[in-house]
Structure 1
Amino acid sequence: MTDTLPDTPDAALLDAALQMVEVWNRLSADKQAMLLKRFGTQENALAALVTTQLLSPAQS
């Protein structure tokens, strides 16, 4: 995660989405398959990851 806050909510969403794509690419094939089974599509799985990241408390 970055230490600075984005200037706009849109920038925050884009930043979170890009970070989650990076996370997705680092996941093992088994973990990707588990998320795909749970959420149906990669887009839905990424949306869940982004939402989780945006709603989680800030890391200190």
Structure 2
Amino acid sequence: MPHNANNAPDNALLDTALQMVDVWNRLSPEKQALLLKRFGTQENALAALVTTQLLNPAATKP
């Protein structure tokens, strides 16, 4: 699909989601368990990570 202004928000969301999956995979098993306990499922935990990144991207950048 060609890149254009109409799919830029979709691309940003997809890029952010892929970054958060990478973050999830780098979390220790203990931190993953903590997030799973808080959010119930990996999907919910990832959604929380993505939402946090989209709402405040500067807070999660090194």
Query: Shorter chain as normaliser: what TM range?
Result: 0.7 to 0.9
State the structure with bigger RCO (CA 8 A, min sep 6), 1 or 2: 1
Q: Under a length normalisation based on structure 2, what TM-score does the superposition of the two structures give?
A: 0.80
Runs of 5+ consecutive residues of structure 1 not aligned to the other structure: 1-6
Q: Under a length normalisation based on structure 1, what TM-score does the superposition of the two structures give?
A: 0.83
1:25 alignment partner AA: N
Over 2 Å off, 4+ runs: none
Distance 1:31 1:20 in 2: 14
Higher helix share: 2
Identical residues among aligned pairs (%) = 81
Partner of 1:24 in structure 2? 24
Q: Which has the larger radius of gyration?
A: 2
Give, in angstroms, the shift of residue 35 of structure 1. Answer: 0.1
